[in-house]
């Protein structure tokens, strides 16, 4: 069994003295792991960083085996993140969320496409935080917990949408939300209007609520610690 595909590195774990188990997200194979021999050697150590795009060749005797990767570099996205704490937190969070939530060997090209857009924007601090929040909304949709922010769940109105129902993930207008405000989640204006100030902390609180309570809770696990650290960075 063998295949070739491009992919983004999600994680790298040491195996034995110098080898590494590498987890990739690829367009055709989805989230897929493999062994890279001498992955912690001089030639590959700088390439095998979460967030980097690589060309991977995978080979195994049987499909269910871990198999071996041969890796060649394509784009060093990780370099844009290593010098800035928020960028690094975003990269780590995105990779960890994918690894913890997507099933193995199941293609999710939309998530990969969004991830690469995010990684490519990490050198622009005015842009990438908004992309990140919208990427998490896309991840929720892909996992079957999509938010509907297009109209009010109670009235059908598309005007003055200010809150989100924590139960349904649907938007609620200001008028309809008034009696229940304390039970609802704020809807950041920048998610509806690109000219509105980007309250990233509020955006991460919204997506974080649904990730924690509608994704990870059902898997009997916690939100990845790297995602919590990202939220903390935007509360500072």
Q: Is 150 exposed, middle or buried (0-12, 13-18, 19+ CB in 10 A)?
A: exposed
pLDDT at 95: 98
The C-alpha atoms of residue 9 and residue 49 are separated, in whole angstroms, by: 7
What confidence score (pLDDT) does residue 179 get? 94
Q: Write down the pLDDT at residue 219.
A: 87
Alpha carbons within 13 A on the beta-carbon side of 137: 19
The Cα–Cα gap between 177 and 197 comes to: 22
Q: What are the residues whose beta carbons fall under 8 Å from the beta carbon of 125, sequence distance 6 or more?
A: 84, 86, 87
Share of the chain residues as helix, strand and coil, in percent rounded to the nearest 5: 40, 25, 35
Q: Quick count: other Cβ atoms within 10 Å of Cβ 75?
A: 16
As its CATH architecture, domain 2-75 has Beta Barrel (2.40)
Neighbours of 211 (CB within 10 A): 23
pLDDT value of residue 132 = 98
Q: Residue-wise pLDDT tens for the chain (236 aa)?
A: 899 999 999 999 999 999 999 999 999 999 999 999 999 988 898 999 999 999 999 999 998 899 999 999 999 999 989 989 999 999 999 999 999 999 999 999 999 999 999 999 999 999 999 999 999 999 999 999 999 999 999 999 999 999 999 999 999 999 999 999 999 999 999 999 999 999 999 999 999 999 999 999 988 899 999 999 999 999 97
């Amino acid at each position: 069994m063998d295949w070739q595909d491009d992919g983004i590195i999600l994680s790298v774990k040491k195996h034995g003295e110098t080898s590494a188990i590498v987890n990739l997200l690829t367009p055709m194979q989805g989230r897929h792991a493999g062994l890279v021999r001498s992955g912690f050697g001089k030639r590959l150590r700088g390439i095998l960083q979460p967030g980097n795009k690589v060309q991977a060749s995978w080979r195994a005797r049987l499909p269910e085996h871990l198999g071996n990767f041969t890796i060649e570099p394509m784009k060093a996205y990780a370099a844009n993140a290593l010098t800035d704490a928020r960028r690094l937190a975003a990269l780590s969070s995105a990779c960890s969320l994918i690894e913890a939530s997507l099933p193995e060997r199941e293609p999710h090209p939309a998530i990969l496409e969004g991830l690469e857009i995010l990684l490519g924007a990490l050198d622009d601090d005015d842009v990438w935080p908004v992309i990140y929040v919208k990427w998490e909304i896309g991840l929720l949709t892909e996992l079957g917990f999509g938010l509907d922010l297009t109209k009010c769940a109670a009235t059908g109105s598309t005007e003055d949408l200010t809150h989100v129902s924590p139960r349904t993930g649907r938007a609620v207008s200001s008028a309809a939300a008034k009696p229940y405000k304390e039970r609802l989640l704020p809807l950041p204006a920048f998610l509806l209007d690109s000219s509105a100030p980007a309250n990233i902390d509020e955006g991460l609180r919204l997506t974080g609520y649904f990730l924690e309570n509608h994704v990870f809770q059902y898997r009997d696990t916690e939100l990845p610690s790297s995602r919590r650290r990202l939220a903390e960075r935007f509360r500072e």
